[in-house]
Structure formats: C-alpha cells, structure tokens
Amino acid sequence: MEIINPSNIAIDFGLKTLEKRLSKTNSQISLKIGVPREQAANEHRLSITPSGATILTANGHEVYVEQGAGKQANYSDQDYADAGAHIVYSTEELYKKSELISKVAPPNAEETKLLQRNQILLSALHLGNQKVDFFDYLISQQITGIGFEFIQDASHTFPIVRMMHEITGLLSIQIATHYLETRQQGQGILLGGISGIPPAVVVILGAGIIAEYAARTALGYGAQVFVLDNDLAQLRHLENTLDRRVITAVANPSYISSAIKQADVVIGAVMEEGHRAPCWVTADMVSQMKPGTVIVDTVIDQGGCIETSRQTTIAKPTYTEYGITHYCVPNIPSTVARTSTVALNNVIVPFLIDIGDQGGIEQALWNNVALRNGTYSYRKHITKKSLSEMFDRPYREIDMLIASAF
C-alpha cells in the first residue's frame, strides 16, 4: 500500500486554492485594465490574480498593476510582471493609463477624483457608506459604474456576492467563537459544549447565503442554531439543505427579541439586494441580551441590521455596548485575502474577456445580462431606481440607454 507524504498532498492531488482556467478567445479590442493598490482600511484583496493577468494579456489586453497591490494577498510585483502585467509606481499614473479600473473597495474621495472621463469602474459599491457626491462625480465624468452587489446573471444568481457571502458566513462563526473566549472578555464558553454541558445558542438573522454558511459552520461546531427570516421559502430551503438541524422562525419583533435574549452569538445577515440592510434589532433589544454575548453584523457594509452596529476595521474590529461585543468589519473576506482574491478573479476575468470579445462596453452591456444588471451609472445617468430614491437623483433604465445607442 502506498503511503502518502502529507507534504506532497497539494502537489499530488491538486488540493490548492486555484484560479478557474480560461482558454484564449478572439478579443475584438484591446482593453487597458488597471488594478490599483487598495487604499481602504485593511482591504487586502485584489480583483485579478497573476494567473488572471496571464489570461487577459494572452487575449490581447494590457494589465497595469500598482506597485505592492498584491502584497497582502501574497502576490509579488514579480508574479504580476512574469504574468505579462505592467507594474505602475503611482496611483495617479495607473488611473491615467487605464480605460477600465478593476478594484475591490469603492473608490475613496481621493481615488474618485482620479477617475478619467468615460472610464469604466468595476468594484463593490458599499451602499452603507456612499455619499451623493460620489454619484454626482460619476455622472459628470460619464463613468460607467458596475457594482459587485448588482451583478446578477440570467439564473438570478449574484456570482460575486455569493462567493464573498460564502466566505463571510464561514468566517463569522470563527470570529464569534474567538470573542466568546474569556481572554476576549466573552462569556468564556465553547460554542459546541462538551458532554454534560449544553452547546452555545447561535441566532442568525436572515436566511440567505451568509446565513446558510454560518449555520453550516455553527452546526459543525455543535452549536444550537436558530435562523429567523420573513421569507418562508428561504427558511424552508435552509431546513431542507441542513437536514432540519436548525430551528427556524418568522422574524417578527416578538420572536427576534425572545431569540436574542437566549443567544450567545448573534449573526446579522439580513439583506435586501440593491438596498440598505433593514434594521431588525433595536438598541433596547441589545440592552436586554446576556453580557458577553457576541454580535457579528456581516452586513455593516450595507448599513447593518442592528441599531447599535457601527463600522469597525480589521485593525480594531470590536467595541462593547450594553456589555455586548460588537464585530462590525465590512470586509470580512479580506482576512483571508488569498482565497478571496482567487474567488473574485474567477468571476471578474471572464467579464473582462467578454467586454473585449464584444468590442467594448456598449456591446457587452447589450449582450451580457450580468454586466447590464450590474451597471448603476452609465452615460450621465444613475440606472438603478433604488439609488435614485436613496440619493434623490433622477435615473434612466439601462435598457433604454443602451437601446438608444444602436
């Protein structure tokens, strides 16, 4: 019988975090794609890996990567140079050379001013933090803005959101477990308990992708898991998926209040696609929770679903209010930057290839439903009704704007 050398497992069986492979296509145009170094606090992810850069350059595109952009995801400048990308030594130079900016966090105020007229911006939008000035600038410069949160394919799946939410759900329980420890001023309890000692109670608000992966992980630890949502179909799906090992309930104020009083961990995962997260837990409810309970508000980038939540950073991730530990980091997947970067690359690179194959952004928006759904700014117009209502700006349907060009 052959004995497997553990050190060779990754080589022998390919058990690595790998990028999706794409074959060379017939690009109609050459895109100049810029990958800046992220300036948002503790944002370590990128949208394109060296392997992705190889694919893009093989298809005739030019890739510009800012010096040091991949450092925190363990990709060196040399990795990108070897892949055919051009290393650029300043953010200003990168924005000037690029037709399309592909990044993770939305541009901050300084980065926004660097956007060039008629550029394409592909990034997250983070509605919980956006100001109207950002959209006004995009409109004035005729920027085509495509948001990760809006990209939805023909099967009604949000591919980028889903991948990041899977990671967030898994990590949320790891994080909560850590902050339950005595040395973190938690209750000093194990999530799964041991023989003769009952497990901790995990309450998950929402029944989407984050909730599913949080529930899977919590169940793996041996915790008792409650999931609350107003969508009965989602609750039914979650029960079936997890073999009825979770307890579900409709998310009315009475059930929410009762559940979080018993909770040792609360995972906030309530989302409304294209809108700010609804607030389900009031400050009064939080004040009645057990001291040392841990709240992980995973939708803080969309405004948060708990009244006492306020945004924190990976460098300073928690604060205490009413004796409750709050963890409200908006970019949780950035704590596993390598895995998250590969996941983003696997979705984004095919979109970039398609833009080139279609001959430009106009034709790509016409033919690619996911990119069209993802567009929130195009030709001096906001193209999402939800954003129009949120920021008091007029909007035009993207379909009408595209049709007028053909």
Question: Taking 70 as the threshold, does the pLDDT of residue 12 lie above it?
Answer: no
Catalytic residue among 44, 61, 126, 381: 126
Q: Domains (ranges, CATH) in the chain? A: 23-147+337-403 (3.40.50.720), 161-330 (3.40.50.720)
**Torsion-angle region of 214 (φ positive above 0: left; ψ -120 to 50: alpha; else: beta):** alpha
Q: What percent of the chain has pLDDT over 90?
A: 79
Tell me which of 235-239, 318-322, 400-404 is least confident: 400-404
- Nearest 5°: the CA angle 114, 132, 117 is 30
**Per-residue pLDDT tens over the stretch 281-336:** 999 999 999 999 999 999 998 889 999 999 999 889 999 999 999 999 988 999 99
**For residues 211-223, average pLDDT:** 96
- Annotated active-site residue 297? The verdict is no
**Per-residue pLDDT tens over the stretch 50-90:** 999 999 999 999 999 999 999 999 999 999 999 999 999 99
Regarding predicted confidence, which is higher, 309 or 27?
309
Regarding predicted confidence, which is higher, 38 or 9?
38
Phi, psi angle pair for 101, to nearest 5°: -100, 120
**For residues 377-396, average pLDDT:** 90
Amino acid 1: pLDDT = 41
CA-to-CA separations, 401 to 54, 144, 149, 370, 380, in angstroms, rounded: 34, 12, 21, 16, 10
Contact status, residue 218 vs residue 225, Cβ threshold 8 Å: yes
Amino acid 359: pLDDT = 93
Question: Taking 90 as the threshold, does the pLDDT of residue 19 lie above it?
Answer: no
- Mean pLDDT score of the chain, rounded to an integer? 91
Phi, psi angle pair for 232, to nearest 5°: -65, -35
Catalytic residue among 229, 264, 301, 357: 301
- Annotated active-site residue 301? The verdict is yes
Is residue 23 very low, low, confident or very high in pLDDT (cuts 50, 70, 90)? low
Spell out a b/e string for 242-278, using b for 16 or more CB atoms within 10 Å of the CB, else e: beeebebbebeeeebeebbeebbbbbbbbbeebbbbb
Find residue 306's DSSP bridge partners: 281
Amino acid 59: pLDDT = 95
**Per-residue pLDDT tens over the stretch 154-211:** 888 999 999 999 999 999 999 999 999 999 989 999 999 899 999 999 999 999 999 9
Question: Taking 90 as the threshold, does the pLDDT of residue 5 lie above it?
Answer: no
Q: Is the pTM of this model over 0.95?
A: no
Amino acid 8: pLDDT = 52
Residue carrying structure tokens 């929402």: 206
Helix (H) or strand (E) holding 338: helix 337-358
Contact status, residue 149 vs residue 274, Cβ threshold 8 Å: yes
